[in-house]
Structure 1
């Protein structure tokens, strides 16, 4: 199982939001590239980077910060936030981003997302962000009438790399990851799922690792994203990676 340290970008700074609320941001630094290198030194081979401002505007707002991260980080960068056009997808892949996360586009333009999954095999992750079981979009500022499971099933045979499931009510709140809902989504779709939202410590990593993807890459938990627990020192990255590998 992969541990993805999170670098969320707002106006060039590293922040963590509470329940996705931009007005409830805690700033953890102003040098995203240095933070990326610190995570690398602690053993991270993957990063999850989000352009929070871009999630609202629909185009890159923290490009220079993302470029600096990709340039210095020796591993794989997974990027989300306002990526809704083919030009944007191609541009980020050309820059060196390993995977693109698409959430709003998955709801509003699913055929486009499927086209991108076919064009870039293994490169597209579909975000299914849940607020009370319903899909939230536009930087989580809007809640649709579509259930998370219904959206996820639309991409079962689309060739996406995985699903990224976030329980928004837990995100940034250190309440513990919604393990049951994450595992249920993986079982219902047969797709690998990345868990996100609420990780508070090593026990979350241990429990998720018990449900890691199968040897053939189907179903189960592919990875987990952690932000606030790492920045606040509640979770040691090296220990989390070791736990994830042991399963």
Structure 2
């Protein structure tokens, strides 16, 4: 199972939000590239980056910071936030991004995602962000009437690499991963699932890793790392061993 340390960007700084609320941001640093290098030193070979400002604006707002992270991190960088056109996707791949995460556009323009998955096989990740089981969009500010499993099924056989499932109510709250919902989704679709939202410690990593056979590909963790509740090197060992 892959452990993705997270770097969320707001105004060029490394932050974590509580439940996706931009007004509840905790700043953890002003040098995203240095943070990426620290994660690499701890053994990470995958990184999850989000342009939070871009999620709300609908276009890249932290491009310089993202490019600095790519330059500093020797592994594979996965990026989400405000990526809604083919030009966005092409531009980020040209800049060295390994995988693109698409959320809002996946719900509103599913054919666009299918086209991108066809053009860039196994490099497009669909974000399935949920409040109370329903898909949320536009930086999690809007909640649809579409159940998460229904949205996920739209992309089976489309060639997407993974589904990124986030329980928004747990994101940045250190409440623990919603194991039941995450594994439940993985069992309902034939696309690998990445868990996100609520990781509070090593137990979450260990538990998720036990469900790798059910389709859990990885887990994203942010605040637990920044607050010192989770040691990245230990998490990587547990994820690999399980």
What is the TM-score with the length of structure 2 in the denominator? 0.99
Within 1, Cα distance between the matches of 2:12 and 2:164?
24
Match of residue 222 from structure 1: 217
- Asked whether 1:116 is paired with 2:111, we answer no
Q: Distance in 2 between matches of 1:42 and 1:235?
A: 12
* Moved >6 Å (runs of 4+): none
Kindly indicate whether residue 140 of structure 2 is the aligned counterpart of residue 145 of structure 1.
no
1:239 to 230, 234, 237: 234
| Partner secondary structure for residue 6 of structure 1 | strand
SS in 2 for 1:225: strand
1:190 shift after superposition: 1.8
Aligned partner of 1:48 in structure 2 is: 48
TM-score by length of 1: 0.97
Q: CA deviation at 1:71?
A: 1.0
Secondary structure of the residue that 2:139 maps to in structure 1? coil
Alignment of 1:92-171 (within 5 A): 92-171=92-171
Inter-partner Cα distance in structure 2 for 1:125 and 1:53: 19
Please give the root-mean-square deviation of Cα atoms over the aligned residues, in Å.
0.6
Find the aligned partners of 2:34 and 2:110 in 1 and give their Cα distance: 36
3-state secondary structure, aligned to 2:218 = strand
Shift of 1:220: 1.1
Partner of 1:69: 69
For structure 1, the 5+ residue unaligned runs are none
Number of corresponding residues: 242
Partner of 1:199: 199
| Distance in 2 between residues matched to 1:168 and 1:76, nearest whole Å | 25
Task: Mark the runs of 5 or more structure 2 residues left unpaired by the alignment.
Answer: none
- Residues 10-29 of structure 1: matches in 2 within 5 Å? 10-29=10-29
How far 1:66 moved relative to its partner?
Answer: 0.1
Q: Distance in 2 between matches of 1:124 and 1:166?
A: 17
Residue 178 of structure 2 is aligned to residue 184 of structure 1? no
